[in-house]
């Protein structure tokens, strides 16, 4: 009896999965190579996991700056505990053995305390300047590189991506998102480290001078920290929704303003305003949750401060009256714990802002590492159309194969609906309409030369046809200075393409005047 062997479906699926993973990894390696190319300061690029991703864009100098900032922020905690300790010593100097000291003793104690306070203030000024300056310089350098990587990644996406992500959302991520990240890894991170150092040093001082009072006051910390932290975590999801909705609202507003004439003609202002208002209502709904959670965290922290006052007055008085605790040590223990509680409150607000910064970083990173269906950064490409089938009812062509020869002009000619535009769309990475930008005509033509090694002056022989020549100002797509015929006569779109001296030029529905121009100016 013949044996029937079932195909290894699982093995085939595993091979396909591994092949896809290998292809994605190859695309990511090309993305990393593109980042290194656009950011020459980075000798190599290896993305770090999680919240440490921003350090992937750090050079050795940036890491040294961050190390100095870390030391400076932790050293800023030393003046705080020194002030608490000197306040207790000054109080003990004023009151000795239940009596007020002599004027000379008070003067000596006050003079010594004042000198220590002055030295402490100078040290705090030095340490705070070091940590803030180092963090600010390093964060600005890294965020500048992240902006470059973000722009290069967005511009390398396939055209389908721009159906869901427009200029408004890209601008929102570029300006607000990376700005939020920069603030988070600059002063917020420094203040967070400063607060952590203050908590540790203050608790050590409080338990050293009076373990009993310090232990009682330490019982407030779970209440002062856990509840506000939970409220902060509760608001994290609404904040992420707000960020996404702001991007959609910015995209919608950008589309409306770019077609404001059509909006006026169709009298669609009220309808579009209501649509934009729906975005704002969703943002307001989630914003109320975020604000209420922040209010709950702040009120809980303030209640913790007053609870610390009450416990200090009660338990501290008992220790002074029955256990011989000096008033100076009592005040030192209380103010050390008080500084630690305020540091906890500060950490909660800093954690909220740092969470927002890392949420913005995650969104930017997702866009940078997005794998496009068309790998724009792959230099290989295709020179042959392999058996393309166009499903049009009439006048269609099946299994079209054509090899494009370099240095030659290839024209696709056919009846309407035969698939000419589809072929062009398949060959082009991103189809570009002849859009105009705000500026002069010369600026619109020369914009394609930006960043190219062969920038050269544009030909100005036809500038007399306009009032101010090529310096005539236009206002993007909202201009009324150039009619459709004038745009064709000036050949702005074709001039912009030719002035870059590209190796490949794809034109769709070329006007006769433009065809004549290309035949006259083509030299190879």
Q: Where are the domains of the chain?
A: 50-368, 384-521
Query: How many Cβ atoms from other residues are within 10 Å of residue 56's Cβ?
Result: 19
CA distance linking residue 224 with residue 307, whole number of Å: 10
DSSP code for 479? -
| Spatial separation of the C-alpha atoms in residues 213 and 414, rounded to whole Å | 91
**In percent, how much of the chain has pLDDT > 70?**
66
β-strand partners of 100: 95
Residue 179's alpha-carbon distances to 223, 349, 362, in angstroms, are: 33, 18, 13
Rounded-to-integer distance, Cα 65 and Cα 60, Å: 9
Instruction: State residue 23's pLDDT score.
Output: 59
Query: Mean pLDDT for the chain?
Result: 72
Alpha carbon 431 to its chain centroid, in Å, reads: 28
Running DSSP on this structure, what letter comes out for residue 506?
-
pLDDT digit string (tens) for 277-311?
A: 998 898 888 888 888 887 887 787 778 778 877 87
What's the confidence (pLDDT) of residue 514? 46
CB atoms under 10 Å from CB of 146, counted, come to: 24
Per-residue confidence (pLDDT) for residue 9, from 0 to 100: 47
Note the pLDDT of residue 463: 47
Distance CA 487, CA 499 (A): 17
- The listed range with the strongest mean pLDDT (273-282, 313-322, 472-481) is 273-282
Residue 401's pLDDT band, with cuts at 50, 70 and 90, is confident
pLDDT tens string 75-106:
888 888 888 788 777 877 776 655 666 777 77
Q: Which fold has domain 50-368?
A: ABC transporter transmembrane region fold (1.20.1560)
Closest by Cα among 454, 223, 385, 206 to 312: 206
User: In percent, how much of the chain has pLDDT > 90?
Assistant: 0
3-state secondary structure of 388: strand
Specify the DSSP class assigned to residue 49. Answer: P
What would the two tokens of residue 293 be?
């959670």
- Quick: pLDDT tens for 1-56: 444 444 444 555 565 566 556 656 666 677 777 777 777 777 777 778 888 888 88
pLDDT at 427 over 50: yes
pLDDT at 6: 45
What pLDDT does 518 receive? 46
- pLDDT value at position 488? 46
| 407 within 8 A of 524, measured Cβ to Cβ | yes
Read off the pLDDT of each residue in 180-205 and give the average, rounded to a whole number. 83
- The answer to pTM > 0.75 is no
Helix, strand, coil percentages (3-state) for the chain, rounded to 5, are 70, 5, 25
398: left (phi over 0), alpha (psi -120 to 50) or beta: beta
CA nearest to 297, candidates 232, 357, 240, 223: 232
Asked whether 172 and 246 are in contact (CB, 8 A), the reply is yes
Residue keyed to tokens 């190579």: 33
């Amino acid at each position: 009896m013949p044996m029937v062997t079932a195909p290894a479906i699982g093995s085939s699926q595993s091979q396909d999965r591994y092949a896809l993973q290998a292809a994605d990894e190859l695309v990511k390696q090309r993305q990393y190579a593109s980042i290194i190319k656009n950011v020459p300061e980075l000798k190599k690029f290896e993305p770090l996991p999680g919240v440490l991703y921003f350090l992937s864009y750090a050079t050795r100098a940036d890491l040294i700056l961050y190390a100095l900032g870390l030391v400076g922020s932790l050293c800023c905690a030393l003046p705080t505990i020194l002030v608490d300790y000197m306040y207790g010593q000054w109080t003990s100097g004023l009151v000795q053995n239940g009596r007020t000291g002599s004027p000379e003793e008070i003067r000596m104690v006050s003079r010594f305390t004042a000198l220590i306070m002055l030295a402490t203030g100078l040290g705090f000024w030095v340490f705070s300047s070091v940590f803030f300056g180092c963090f600010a310089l390093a964060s600005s350098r890294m965020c500048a590189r992240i902006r470059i990587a973000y722009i290069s990644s967005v511009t390398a996406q396939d055209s389908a991506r721009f159906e869901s992500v427009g200029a408004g959302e890209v601008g929102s991520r570029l300006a607000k998102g990376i700005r939020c990240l920069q603030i988070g890894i600059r002063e917020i991170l420094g203040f967070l480290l400063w607060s952590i150092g203050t908590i540790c040093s203050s608790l050590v001082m409080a338990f050293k001078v009076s373990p009993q009072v310090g232990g009682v006051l330490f019982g407030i910390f779970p209440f002062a920290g856990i509840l506000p932290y939970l409220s902060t975590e509760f608001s994290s999801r609404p904040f992420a929704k707000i960020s996404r909705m702001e991007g959609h609202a910015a995209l919608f507003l950008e589309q409306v303003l770019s077609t404001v004439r059509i909006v006026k003609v169709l009298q669609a202002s009220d309808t579009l305003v209501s649509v934009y208002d729906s975005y704002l209502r969703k943002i307001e709904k989630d914003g109320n949750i975020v604000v209420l959670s922040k209010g709950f965290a702040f009120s809980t922290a303030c209640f913790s401060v007053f609870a610390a006052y009450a416990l200090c007055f009660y338990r501290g008085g008992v220790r002074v009256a029955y256990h011989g605790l000096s008033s100076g040590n009592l005040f030192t223990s209380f103010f050390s714990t008080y500084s630690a509680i305020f540091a906890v409150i500060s950490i909660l607000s800093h954690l909220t802002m740092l969470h927002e910064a890392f949420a913005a970083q995650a969104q930017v990173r997702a866009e940078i590492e997005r794998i496009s269906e068309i790998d724009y950064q792959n230099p290989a490409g295709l020179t042959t159309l392999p058996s393309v089938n166009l499903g049009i009812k009439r006048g269609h062509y099946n299994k079209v194969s054509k090899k494009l020869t370099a240095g030659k002009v290839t024209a696709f000619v056919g009846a309407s609906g035969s698939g000419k535009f589809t072929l062009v769309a398949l060959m082009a990475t991103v189809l570009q309409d002849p859009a105009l930008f705000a500026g002069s005509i010369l600026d619109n033509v020369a914009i394609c030369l930006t960043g190219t090694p062969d920038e050269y002056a544009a030909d100005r022989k036809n500038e007399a046809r306009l009032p101010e020549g090529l310096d005539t100002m236009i206002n993007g797509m909202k201009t009324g200075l150039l009619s459709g015929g004038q745009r064709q006569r000036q050949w702005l779109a074709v001039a912009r393409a030719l002035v870059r001296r590209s190796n490949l030029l794809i034109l769709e529905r070329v006007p006769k005047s433009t065809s004549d121009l290309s035949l006259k100016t083509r030299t190879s």
